[in-house]
Amino acid sequence: MSEESKKSAEKTANTQAANPNPSPASTPHEAGSQQVIGEGSAKLGNAPVGASGVPVSMQSPTAPASPAAPGTPTSATGSPSAEKAAEKASETPRDKTDIEKKDSATSEAKAQAAATSGVEMFTVTVDGLSVEVPKGTAVIEACFRAGADVPYFCYHPRLESVGACRMCVAAVELEQFGARRTAIMTTCNLQVQNGMVVKTGTPDVKKAQNGILEFLLANHPLDCPICDRGGECPLQNMTIAYGPPTSRFIEEKRHFPKAVPLSDFVILDRERCIQCMRCTRFTDEIAGDGQLDLLDRGAESKIAVFSDTKFTSNFSGNTIEICPVGALTSRTYRFAGRPWEIKSVDSICAECGNGCNIAVQHRMGEVVRINGRTNEDINEEWTCDRGKFGQYYINSDKRLSSPLIRREGRFVESTWEEAFGMIADRLSQIKAQYGAGSIAGIGSTRCTLEENYLLGRVMRGVIGTNHLDHQMSSYPLLPMQTTIAEIENFKTIVSVGMELQREQPIVYLRVYKAKRRKGANWIEVASLDSGVEAILRQVGAEAVLLLPHHLQASELERAFAFCQETGTKFNLLLPDANSWGAPTAGILPNALPGMRPFADGRADVERMWGVKLSDAPGKAAGDIFASAAKGEIKAIYVMGNDPAKEFADPSQARRGLESAAFVVVQDLFLSDTAQFADVVLPSSSFAEKDGTFVNIEGREQKIKQAIAPRGNSRPDWRILADLMARLGTPVPYFSARDIYREYRRASGA
Amino acid sequence: MQEQPQVLYKNRYVPGINTLEVYLQHGGYESFRKALTMTPDAIIDEVKASGLRGRGGAGFPTSVKWVAVPKNRDQEHFLIINADEGEPGTAKDRDLMNALPHLMIEGCLCSLMALNASKCYIYIRGEYIEPWKSVQKAINEARKAGFIGKNVLGSGLDFEIYTHLGAGAYECGEESALMSSLMGERGMPRMKPPYAPLPQVKGVWDKPSVVNNVETVSTLVPILAMGGAEYTKIGYGSPRSRGTKLFSISGHVNKPGIYEIVLGTPFNEVLEIAGGVKGKLKTYIPGGSSMGFAPPTPMDYPFDYEGIPQNTKTLGLGSGGLIVFNDTVPIVPLAARLTHFYHHESCGKCTPCREGLNWMAKIYDRILAGAGRESDVDLLWDICDNIRGKSFCPLGEGAIWPVMTSLTLFRDEYLQYIRTGTYTPPVAVTTAG
Ligand SMILES: Cc1cc2nc3c(=O)[nH]c(=O)nc-3n(C[C@H](O)[C@H](O)[C@H](O)COP(=O)(O)O)c2cc1C
Ligand code: SF4
Ligand code: SF4
Ligand code: SF4
Ligand code: FES
Closest CA to A456 of A577, A589, A607, A600: A589
Q: What is the pLDDT of residues B196-234, one digit of tens each?
A: 999 999 999 999 999 999 999 999 999 999 999 999 999
CB spacing of A167 vs B351 below 8 angstroms:
yes
CA–CA dist A241, A239 (Å, integer) = 5
What pTM did the predictor assign? 0.90
Q: Is A254 on the interface with B (CB under 8 A)?
A: yes
Quote the pLDDT of residue A92.
67
Cα angle A693, A695, A696 (rounded to 5 degrees) comes to 155
* 8 Å CB contact between A192 and A122: yes
What percentage of chain B has pLDDT greater than the value 90?
95
CB-based burial label for A571 (10 Å; 0-12, 13-18, 19+): buried
C-beta atoms surrounding A468 within 10 Å:
28
CA–CA dist B415, B407 (Å, integer) = 10
Helix axes B214-226, B40-50, angle to 10 degrees: 100
CA–CA dist A197, A193 (Å, integer) = 9
CA–CA dist A166, B299 (Å, integer) = 40
Helix axes B357-368, B375-387, angle to 10 degrees: 160
Helix axes B394-409, B357-368, angle to 10 degrees: 30
DSSP assignment string, B110-147: HHHHHHT--EEEEEE-TT-HHHHHHHHHHHHHHHHTTS
Closest CA to A445 of A618, A623, A182, A640: A640
CA–CA dist A583, A576 (Å, integer) = 12
Q: How far is CA B433 from CA A137, B5, B427, B430, in A?
A: 77, 44, 18, 9
Quote the pLDDT of residue A86.
45
CA–CA dist B169, B147 (Å, integer) = 32
B33 contact partners, CB below 8 Å, separation of at least 6: B153
Rg (CA), chain B: 22
Mapping DSSP to helix (H, G, I), strand (E, B) and coil, where does residue A552 land? coil
Q: How many Å separate Cα A703 from the centre of its chain?
A: 12
Chain B (137-196) residues lying within 8 Å, Cβ to Cβ, of chain A: 169, 171, 174, 186-187, 191, 193-196
B294 pairs with which residues across the strands?
B284
CA–CA dist B127, B84 (Å, integer) = 9
Closest CA to A540 of A563, A520, A518, A558: A563
Residue spans of alpha helices (H) in A435-577: 449-456, 500-503, 505-518, 532-539, 553-566
Measure A337 CA to ligand 2 centroid, in angstroms: 15
Q: How far is CA B142 from CA A603, B23, B31, B149, B223, in A?
A: 92, 11, 14, 9, 21
* Omega prior to A234 cis, within 30 of 0: no
Cα angle A408, A409, A412 (rounded to 5 degrees) comes to 80
* 8 Å CB contact between B352 and B396: yes
CA–CA dist A391, A446 (Å, integer) = 13
Chain A (438-477) residues lying within 8 Å, Cβ to Cβ, of chain B: none
The finding on whether A164 has its CB within 6 A of some atom of ligand 5 is yes
CB spacing of A294 vs B191 below 8 angstroms:
no
C-beta atoms surrounding A481 within 10 Å:
16
Measure B71 CA to ligand 1 centroid, in angstroms: 23
φ, ψ of residue A661 in degrees (nearest 5): -70, -30
DSSP assignment string, A233-262: -HHHHHHHHHS-SS----SPPP---S-EES
* 8 Å CB contact between B278 and B252: yes
Chain B (283-302) residues lying within 8 Å, Cβ to Cβ, of chain A: 290
Best residue in B192, B313, B355 to probe A by mutation, most A CBs within 10 Å? Answer: B355
A659 contact partners, CB below 8 Å, separation of at least 6: A628, A629, A630, A631
Closest CA to A576 of A352, A323, A248, A732: A352
Quote the pLDDT of residue A261.
95
A49 pairs with which residues across the strands?
A55
Quote the pLDDT of residue B432.
52
Q: How many Å separate Cα A680 from the centre of its chain?
A: 33
CA–CA dist A406, A412 (Å, integer) = 6
- Which DSSP helix (H) or strand (E) runs through A691? strand A691-694
Best residue in A16, A215, A251 to probe B by mutation, most B CBs within 10 Å? Answer: A215
- Which DSSP helix (H) or strand (E) runs through A722? helix A716-726
Mapping DSSP to helix (H, G, I), strand (E, B) and coil, where does residue A68 land? coil
Let me know how long chain B is.
433
CB spacing of B60 vs A2 below 8 angstroms:
yes
Measure B82 CA to ligand 1 centroid, in angstroms: 7
Q: Which atom of ligand 5 is nearest to the CA of A189?
A: 2
pLDDT along chain A (749 residues), means of 10: 46 39 37 31 34 36 35 35 46 82 91 87 96 95 95 97 97 89 95 96 97 97 95 96 94 95 95 98 98 96 94 97 97 94 97 97 96 96 96 95 96 98 98 98 98 98 98 95 97 96 98 97 94 91 96 93 95 97 97 96 96 96 98 98 97 98 98 98 98 98 97 97 96 96 94
Closest-approaching ligand to the CA atom of B174: 1
Q: Is B357 on the interface with A (CB under 8 A)?
A: yes
CA–CA dist A592, A614 (Å, integer) = 12
B48 contact partners, CB below 8 Å, separation of at least 6: B61, B63, B228
Residue spans of alpha helices (H) in A383-415: 385-389
* 8 Å CB contact between A512 and A284: no
A267 pairs with which residues across the strands?
A261, A329
CA–CA dist B70, A531 (Å, integer) = 41
Q: Is the dihedral of CA A261, A265, A270, A272 positive or negative?
A: positive
Q: How confident is the model at residue B428 (pLDDT cuts 50, 70, 90)?
A: low
For ligand 2, atom 6, the nearest C-alpha belongs to A222
A330 contact partners, CB below 8 Å, separation of at least 6: A228, A265, A266, A267, A317, A320, A369, A388, A389
* 8 Å CB contact between B211 and B284: no
CB spacing of A212 vs B351 below 8 angstroms:
yes
Amino acid at site A250: I
Residue spans of alpha helices (H) in A491-552: 500-503, 505-518, 532-539
* 8 Å CB contact between A721 and A731: yes
* Omega prior to B256 cis, within 30 of 0: no
Q: Would you give the DSSP letter of residue B32?
A: H
Best residue in B351, B365, B375 to probe A by mutation, most A CBs within 10 Å? Answer: B351
CA–CA dist B71, A739 (Å, integer) = 71
Residue A658: HSE in the Cβ half-sphere, 13 Å Cα cutoff: 9
Quote the pLDDT of residue B429.
61
Q: What ipTM was estimated for this complex?
A: 0.95
Q: In terms of DSSP bridges, do strands A543-548 and B78-83 run parallel, antiparallel, or are they unpaired? A: unpaired
Q: Is B389 on the interface with A (CB under 8 A)?
A: yes
CA–CA dist A79, A88 (Å, integer) = 14
